[in-house]
């Protein structure tokens, strides 16, 4: 298969169907816009399986995604999308850059989710944008921005209880959307410990990429624990 694109965590290949692509999840990990790099054994398999499970769960609840099927341990077959150049972040708790920008204590629950849009541009460090910036750059119309926010909140409403039933707090997460050939808006990219902050509900232990970012150790074990819980029926 011809390689169409290689990013920090995934490779995208063409298939015999021009409307479908194959996504391979890599074991490599990066942080701080690629400044920190390492390989995490089993990360690609965890992210592929977790993404497949969560995409299927969203589809079951009436949300459209690009997911078609899991091909093997590290590869998904997905619908080819023309991606929108925005990352939509949903925040349910204060963590990461929200703590740094507001001074609010990390781990503070938010009464109402905070939604943020970031410019998907590695050269600029994926900066935070307001609605005027989005309009200036021509990334999305006001109506589309409103729709992206609405879809992100619907996804949050479906995923939050899914994780809570498995003893996990969905602290925040990143979403990317795109258009298929027929002009339908669909969720793309992935949903995994790479793109979500996931904390144990009881202990507060971090079970996501922050273990790598912050040199906390136990990264492989944390990813495997997320895999185990996501694949289970519900928290015992």
Instruction: Please check whether residue 213 lies inside any domain of the structure.
Output: yes
What is the CA 112 to chain-centroid distance, rounded? 20
What SS3 class is residue 196? strand
Q: Which DSSP category does 44 fall into?
A: H
Same domain for 21 and 67 = yes
CATH of the domain at 207: 3.30.470.20
Question: How many domains is the chain partitioned into structurally?
Answer: 2
Provide the pLDDT for residue 234: 64
| Tokens at 9, concatenated | 């965590």
In a shared domain, residues 62 and 112:
no
Alpha helices for 25-139 (secondary structure H): 43-60, 97-102, 131-137
- Residue 115 sits in the same domain as residue 44: no
- What is each CA distance from 230 to 70, 80, 84, 125, 163, in whole angstroms? 16, 26, 28, 31, 7
Angle between helices 43-60 and 142-164 in degrees, nearest 10? 110
Is position 155 within any domain?
A: yes
* The token pair that represents 222 in the structure block: 């944390």
Give the pLDDT confidence score for residue 54 in this predicted structure: 98
**pLDDT tens, per residue, the chain with 236 residues:** 899 999 889 999 999 999 999 999 999 877 766 566 788 889 999 999 999 999 999 999 999 999 999 999 999 999 999 999 999 999 999 999 999 999 999 999 999 999 999 999 989 999 999 999 999 999 999 999 999 999 999 999 999 999 999 999 999 999 999 999 999 999 999 999 999 999 999 999 999 999 988 888 888 999 999 999 999 876 54
Q: Residue 109: which region, alpha, beta or left (left: phi > 0; alpha: psi -120 to 50)?
A: beta
* pTM exceeds 0.85: yes
Task: Assign 3-class secondary structure to 129-173.
Answer: ECHHHHHHHCCCCHHHHHHHHHHHHHHHHHHHHHHHCCCEEEEEE
Distance between CA 105 and CA 24 in Å, rounded? 37
Q: What is the pLDDT of residue 8?
A: 87
Q: Is residue 165 a contact partner of residue 177, using CB atoms and an 8 Å limit?
A: no
pLDDT value, residue 236: 44
Residues 153/113, Cβ–Cβ less than 8 Å: yes
In a domain, 232, yes or no: no
- End position of a domain, from candidates 25, 45, 79: 79
**Is the same domain home to 17 and 89?**
no
pLDDT attached to residue 28: 82
Query: 113-125 in b/e burial notation, b at 16+ Cβ within 10 A?
Result: bebbbbbbeeeee
What are the structure tokens assigned to 165, written together? 């039933």
């Amino acid at each position: 298969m011809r390689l169409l694109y290689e990013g920090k965590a995934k490779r995208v290949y063409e298939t015999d169907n021009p409307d479908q692509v194959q996504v391979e999840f890599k074991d490599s990990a990066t942080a701080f816009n690629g400044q920190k790099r390492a390989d995490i054994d089993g990360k690609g398999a965890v992210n592929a399986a977790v993404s497949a499970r969560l995409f299927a769960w969203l589809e079951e609840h009436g949300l459209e995604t690009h997911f078609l099927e899991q091909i093997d341990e590290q590869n998904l077959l997905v619908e080819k999308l023309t991606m929108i150049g925005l990352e939509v972040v949903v925040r349910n708790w204060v963590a990461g850059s929200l703590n740094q920008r507001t001074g609010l204590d990390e781990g503070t629950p938010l009464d109402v989710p905070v939604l943020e849009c970031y410019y998907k541009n590695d050269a600029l460090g994926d900066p935070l944008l307001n609605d005027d910036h989005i309009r200036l750059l021509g990334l999305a119309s006001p109506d589309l921005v409103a729709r992206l926010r609405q879809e992100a909140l619907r996804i949050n409403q479906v995923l939050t209880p899914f994780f809570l039933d498995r003893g996990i707090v969905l602290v925040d997460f990143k979403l990317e959307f795109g258009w298929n050939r027929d002009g339908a808006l669909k969720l793309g990219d992935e949903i995994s410990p790479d793109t979500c902050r996931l904390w144990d509900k009881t202990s507060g232990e971090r079970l996501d990429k922050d273990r790598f970012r912050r040199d906390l150790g136990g990264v492989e074990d944390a990813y495997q624990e997320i895999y185990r819980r996501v694949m289970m029926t519900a928290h015992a």
